[in-house]
Amino acid sequence: MRKAGSVQQEVRAFADRVLALIKSGQPVKIQVGCGMTPAPGFLNLDIAPLLPEGDDGLGEFEFFFFPYADMPWPIPNNCIDYIFHEDFIEHISQKQQICFLAETLRVLKGGCWHRVNTPCLNASMKRHSHFAAGMQGVYAGEWEKWNHVSLFTHHSLEEMAKLVGYREVVFNLRHQSVSPHRPPFEHRPGDDRDPVIGNIFADLLK
């Protein structure tokens, strides 16, 4: 994997690539928080490379490294065809979530979709907690084991998405994004969660 440049270099390269795709008439698809599972045909964003420099195991994918949840994206309004992420948004604070969703709304084209795949707080608590035991019965693994910061239920995700201006929220299942630009495969949830209800799968419509 290539070495990340400075934040300024990475955001400039990202902006240049977006503009080049627009100019060539190709759809612009972005995966956020890609980690070790980048999507083919997507511009894959993360904070920093996870593979050692020089490891070409993911060399065929396009990566850009900058703090995408903490800064405006250097691209025009209404220019992106699809945004996707899985097991990412629960790792940032509520403030970051609202800012991030507002920024994705700004850059998406009208009528396009933002795909969210995130652990379900409701399902996790029902599966692992024993609330009759009080505080000691609350399953803390969502925060302590997985370093989650702010998790969603179906209701809270829909409420936040509509708060920032998304028109509709469509809940469905794994691999069932309503957009024709959806990635070929969703990796999450893994064996640590129920494969059907362990994660929330939602498409947000601009």
**8 A C-beta contact, residue 138 and residue 128:** no
85's enclosing H/E stretch is strand 80-86
Range 7-205: architecture per CATH: 3-Layer(aba) Sandwich (3.40)
Task: For 163, list phi and psi in degrees, rounded to 5.
Answer: -60, -45
CA triplet 103, 2, 69: central angle to 5 degrees? 15
pTM of this structure = 0.94
Distance of CA 25 to the CA centre of its chain: 24
Q: What is the pLDDT along the chain (206 residues), one digit of tens a residue?
A: 667 889 999 999 999 999 999 999 999 999 999 998 999 999 999 999 876 566 565 678 999 999 999 999 999 999 999 999 999 999 999 999 999 999 999 999 999 999 999 999 999 999 999 999 999 999 999 999 999 999 999 999 999 999 999 999 999 999 999 999 999 999 999 888 888 899 999 999 99
